[in-house]
A and B are shown apart, each in its own frame.
Chain A
Amino acid sequence: MSTADTAAERLLERASDVIRRLLDHPLLWLAPALLALAVFQLYPMAEAILMSLTNESLIRPSFEFVGLEQYVRLASDPQFWEMIRITAIYAFFSVVLHVLLGLVLALAIDYGVRRGLRGHLTTRVSVLLAWIVPGIIIGLVWKVMLVESQFGAVNHFLGVLGIGPVPFRSDPTLALISTIIAGTWRGTAFTMIMIYGGLQRVPQRLYEAARVDGAGRWDRFRHVTLPQLKPVLFITTVLVTIYALNTFDLIFALTGGGPGRATQVLALFMYQEAFQDYALGRGAAIAVVMLVANLLLTGVYLYAFDVGDEI
Chain B
Amino acid sequence: MTIKKLYIDKEIAEYPLSLEIKQRLSIPAETVDSPESIFKSISALPDPVGAGKKVLFITRNKGAFVRPCPGTRYYTCCGYMILHIGTFCLMDCTYCILQSYFHPPLLQYYVNQEAMMAALDDVFTRTRIRRIGTGEFTDSLIWETIDPISAKLIQKFAGQSQAVLELKTKTINIDHLLSLPHNRKTIMAWSLNTKNIIRSQEGGAASLNARLDAATRCQTYNYPLAFHFDPLIVYPGCIEEYYDVIDQLFDRINPDNIVWISLGSFRFMPDLKTIIEHRFPDSKIIYGEFIKGLDGKMRYFKPLRLSLYKKIIDYIKYRAPGVCVYFCMEDDEIWKHTMGFLPSEYGGLPAILDNAAIRHCGLRTCSD
The answer to whether A and B interact is no
